Structure 1
Amino acid sequence: MTVADIRLETERLVLRLPQAGDFERYAELMADADACRYIGGHLPRGAAWRKFLQMPGAWLLQGFAMFSVIEKSSGRWVGQMGPWKPEGWPGNEIGYAFHPDAWGRGYAHESAVAAIDWAFDTLGWDDIVHCIAPENFASKRVAERLGSHLLRTGRLLPPPSETADVELWGQTRAQWAAGRAARG
């Protein structure tokens, strides 16, 4: 199987590699100041395009990155979810960002379960983190629902992220497996 063939499915979602056609909805997300206040702030279209290209580039060079999350019923791009580890990052992150019209539907949790399973099973990671802004209570609830707990606080590195205060939430592979077994 090549990287391009990687595709995960949940009951309502498809997680696949980013495609050029995903950009319009991504640009809408990045243009919304409220929606991206915890992920570096809103971006004009040109800057959003450059940031969008990070994920396909990471897939090509690292063999993993965040997936595009597609709603099965509509075929719409609703967000991105998955493994993310730029140089100097504080851990093996399972990160996410969702278009505002997808909020409140449980898509973050549903897609995170698939992405975490994939990261542990395919990438062989022994632990995961979620880098969450201290005031992002919605993301903390997602992390808690996934079984993650607050590990520590700090700042993101490397620049230009070093001014961002974060809480690192996470869990080990063993904790994830125990939680999955307990939930059935």
Structure 2
Amino acid sequence: MDFGPILETQRLRLRVPQAGDFERFAEVLGSEEAARYIGGHQPRAAAWRRFLQMPGAWVVQGFGMFSVIEKDCGRWLGQAGPWKPDGWPGNEIGWTFHPDAWGKGYATEAAAAAIDWAFANLGWGDVIHCIDPANAASQALARRLGSRNLGPVKLPAPYEDAPSDAWGQSRAEWADNRKRFA
């Protein structure tokens, strides 16, 4: 059963997370490397509680990160989309992907679709991406999207000690930057 919007790109389907997505999500949080910039490795039980945040955000806020699904085979690749928990430093478009999806352009494709959706549906005037200063891959993705480093931000608990820079752009900047993805 589908709940909420479904976005389609050339290779991807973005939709609200479903229970069947959890196995691969748990693999991401179970990996030291994949989870190091998103709160760190978590055991399966903690990963389940964290997984429930996004469907809950959709119900409560009317938005959250989408599950990113490979159209050809139905494989869960990761999450991308709007995210703004209480105390967050701005209107975020975030992402996290399974290691076997890294380096294939999926994150760029999904994040561009999510930014389009957020600007069209949420009334946001700008977007940010909270990125650890050591996370070169996410910084490169932010640059591909046309975002720039806006400087350090403080995240709310329990992440208040995690270093983070806000990368971002305005709606008007996105309208110009989006042309490179057309």
Match of 1:104 in 2: 103
Amino acid at match of 2:159: S
State the TM-score, normalized to the length of structure 1.
0.96
Query: What amino acid is aligned across from residue 49 of structure 2 in structure 1?
Result: R
Task: Determine if the alignment matches structure 1 residue 140 to structure 2 residue 130.
Answer: no
Correspondent of 1:164 among 162, 165, 169:
162
Cα displacement string for residues 117-148 of structure 1 (whole angstroms, at most 9, x for unaligned residues): 00000111100000000000000000000000
Deviations 1:62-106 (A, max 9, x none): 000000000011101000000000000000000000000000000
Aligned to 2:88: 89
Q: CA deviation at 1:4?
A: 1.5
Q: Hey, what does 1:114 align to over in structure 2? A: 113
Asked if the contact 2:89–2:153 (Cα under 8 Å) also holds between the matched residues in 1, the reply is no
Equivalenced residue count is 181
Q: Structure 2: give runs of 5+ residues left out of the alignment.
A: none
Distance in 1, matches of 2:92 and 2:74, equals 26
- Give yes or no for the alignment of 1:175 onto 2:156: no
Q: Distance in 1 between matches of 2:134 and 2:180?
A: 30
What SS does the corresponding residue of 1:128 show, helix, strand or coil? Answer: strand
Q: Map of 1:53-64 to 2, 5 A cutoff?
A: 53-64=52-63
What is aligned with 1:131? 130
Name the % identity: 64
CA RMSD of aligned residues (A): 1.2
Residue 15 (structure 2) aligns with: 16
Alignment gaps of 5+ in structure 1? none
Which stretches of structure 1, 4 residues or more, deviate above 3 A after TM superposition? 181-184
Q: CA deviation at 1:181?
A: 3.7
Instruction: Give the letter aligned to residue 75 of structure 1.
Output: G
